[in-house]
Amino acid sequence: MTTTPPAHGAKRGDVVLVLFPHSDLRTAKTRPALVVQADGLETGLPQLIVAMITSRMFRAAHPSRITVLLSSPEGQRSGLLSDSVVMTDNLATIADAAIDRVIGSLPMNAVDTALAHTLGLKAAVATPEPSEEESS
């Protein structure tokens, strides 16, 4: 399957400005979101899975949510304008056309843990690939 990469160039871990749908799916608001979809998924559909980002810090106290503080190195690279919360319990599949631009990026380690909690997945343990000698 051959697909054309999206014009915005967003990849996993990027913070994007996007038209994010409200829960009623009838209205939307431009807001930051974090791309959580795997790179190179190649579904043939011009869309991405993103997690909502909010500046409402009172929402932070939950294992499905990650706090981003502007005073941290991660926060400074995020492109966000204020301390924020990545809400992995508020995901949306959005059309590539709904992405305005990439504004920054965030590391995915804590996000992956929060996503595993949200989706009820056991934490994945990376297993090393066998070396050429081991596979011979």
pLDDT in tens, 79-111: 999 999 999 999 999 999 999 999 999 999 999
Task: Inform me whether the pLDDT recorded for 66 exceeds 70.
Answer: yes
Whole-model pTM: value is 0.83
Which residues fall within 8 angstroms of residue 30, CB to CB, at 6 or more apart?
17, 18, 19, 20, 100
Rounded (5°) CA angle 109-114-117? 130
Which residues fall within 8 angstroms of residue 22, CB to CB, at 6 or more apart?
28, 29
More confident: 135 or 120: 120
Q: Percent of the chain beyond pLDDT 70?
A: 84
Q: Which two tokens stand for residue 122?
A: 């056991």
